[in-house]
C-alpha cells in the first residue's frame, strides 16, 4: 500500500530542554519518564489538580536533555498554559514549535521521523521537513475514519477538559508506580476505591453511522451518546454500569453493538 500523509502542522508541538527537563515533567504528567528512551513513544496525560484532562500527548526523548511533546490542536493552548509558568521554577526551557511544518506518514516500510503508535497501521511523525516523494495525501475525513477505526479518542471530540482520563481510556498513559504528579490523588481514588461513572466504548452499527451526539438506548433506556463515528464504527461515552461488550443498543433507530477495541488496555477503573 502506498504511503499516505496528513498535514498535522496545526497539532501542538512543544520542546522541553534543560538538565532537569525529565524531572520537571515527571512531577506533572501521568506517565513515568523513567521509561522514556530514544526512538520510543511514551503516551502521557496532563491533568488539573482535580484530575481532569488538560491534554493527552506523546513524549519523545530527542537528547538526554531534550524532550518533545506532541498533542492535538484543541489541547495545545491548555498544554502550554499548564507548563509555561511552572517551567520558570526549573532549570529548563519550553518552546512552542508553531512555525514548523509537520506530517503524519502512514504506511509500512517507512522509518524516518518519530513513531506514532496510535493507529492500527504503522505511522510516523515528520517535523520540519517535506513529506516523502510520491506520497498520497490524506483528507481529514480519511484520517478521521482511520483514527476512529483504531479506537483513538480525539481531544475536543471524544474527551475534553471535563473528562477524567480513565473515562477516556487513557489507562496506557497512566503509571501507578511512579511518585506524585498533578491530579494523582483523583486517579488513585478511582482505581483503588471505586470506578468512573461513564466510560468510552466502541460501537459497531448495522447500517450507516449516526451523527455525533446521537443518543444511545439500551432496553429503551438512555445510557450515553455517540461522540464520533465513521462508516460502521463509532466511539460513545456510556454509563459505566452499561458499558458491557456485546450488549445490543439502538442509536437513532440504528441497531448496534458495543465492543472494546483491541488497542485499549484493560481498564484501571473497576466496579466498586
Q: Are residues 33 and 113 in the same domain?
A: yes
Q: Are residues 143 and 39 in the same domain?
A: yes
Alpha-carbon distance of 258 to 235, in angstroms, equals 9
Residue 133, domain extent: 4-149
Q: Shortest CA distance to 228 belongs to which of 160, 144, 128, 170? A: 144
Does 25 map to a domain? Answer: yes
Q: What is the largest CA-CA distance in the chain?
A: 58
Does 158 map to a domain? Answer: no
Whether 174 contacts 43, CB under 8 Å: no
Does 8 map to a domain? Answer: yes
Helix (H, G, I), strand (E, B) or coil at 36: coil
**DSSP code of residue 222:** E
CATH code of 49's domain: 3.30.70.1400
CB proximity list for 189: less than 8 A, separation 6 or greater? none
- CA separation (Å) from 258 to 168, 223, 233? 15, 12, 10
CA 89 from chain centre, in angstroms, equals: 28
CA 151 from chain centre, in angstroms, equals: 10
Does 270 map to a domain? Answer: no
Instruction: pLDDT tens for the chain, 272 residues: list them.
Output: 689 999 999 999 999 999 999 999 999 999 999 999 999 999 999 999 999 999 999 999 999 999 999 999 999 999 999 999 999 999 999 999 987 799 999 999 899 999 999 999 999 999 999 999 999 999 999 999 999 999 999 999 999 999 999 999 999 999 999 989 999 999 999 998 888 999 999 999 998 889 999 999 999 999 999 999 998 999 999 999 999 999 999 998 899 999 999 999 988 886 53
Q: Are residues 11 and 135 in the same domain?
A: yes
Q: Are residues 47 and 145 in the same domain?
A: yes
Q: Are residues 144 and 9 in the same domain?
A: yes
Q: Are residues 90 and 186 in the same domain?
A: no
Amino acid at each position: 500500500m502506498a504511503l499516505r500523509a496528513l498535514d498535522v502542522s496545526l497539532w501542538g508541538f512543544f520542546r522541553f530542554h534543560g538538565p532537569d527537563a525529565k524531572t520537571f515533567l515527571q512531577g506533572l504528567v501521568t506517565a513515568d519518564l523513567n521509561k522514556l528512551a530514544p526512538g520510543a513513544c511514551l503516551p502521557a496525560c496532563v491533568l488539573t489538580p482535580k484530575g481532569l484532562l488538560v491534554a493527552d500527548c506523546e513524549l519523545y526523548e530527542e537528547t538526554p536533555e531534550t524532550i518533545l511533546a506532541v498533542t492535538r490542536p484543541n489541547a495545545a493552548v491548555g498544554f502550554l498554559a499548564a507548563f509555561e509558568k511552572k517551567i520558570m521554577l526549573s532549570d529548563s526551557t519550553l518552546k512552542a514549535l508553531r512555525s514548523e511544518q509537520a506530517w503524519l506518514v502512514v504506511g509500512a516500510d517507512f522509518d524516518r521521523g518519530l513513531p506514532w503508535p496510535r493507529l492500527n497501521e504503522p505511522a510516523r511523525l515528520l517535523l520540519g521537513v517535506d513529506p516523502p516523494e510520491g506520497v498520497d495525501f490524506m483528507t481529514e475525513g480519511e484520517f478521521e475514519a482511520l483514527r476512529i477505526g483504531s479506537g483513538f479518542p480525539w481531544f475536543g471530540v471524544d474527551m475534553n477538559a471535563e473528562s477524567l482520563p480513565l473515562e477516556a481510556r487513557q489507562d496506557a498513559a497512566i503509571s501507578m508506580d511512579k511518585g506524585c504528579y498533578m491530579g494523582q490523588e483523583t486517579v488513585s481514588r478511582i482505581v483503588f476505591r471505586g470506578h468512573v461513572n461513564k466510560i468510552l466504548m466502541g460501537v459497531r452499527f448495522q447500517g450507516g453511522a449516526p451523527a455525533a451526539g446521537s443518543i444511545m438506548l439500551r432496553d429503551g433506556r438512555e445510557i450515553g451518546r455517540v461522540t464520533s463515528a465513521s462508516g460502521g464504527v463509532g466511539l460513545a461515552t456510556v454509563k459505566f454500569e452499561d458499558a458491557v461488550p456485546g450488549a445490543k443498543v439502538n442509536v437513532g433507530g440504528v441497531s448496534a453493538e458495543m465492543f472494546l477495541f483491541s488497542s485499549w488496555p484493560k481498564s484501571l477503573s473497576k466496579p466498586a
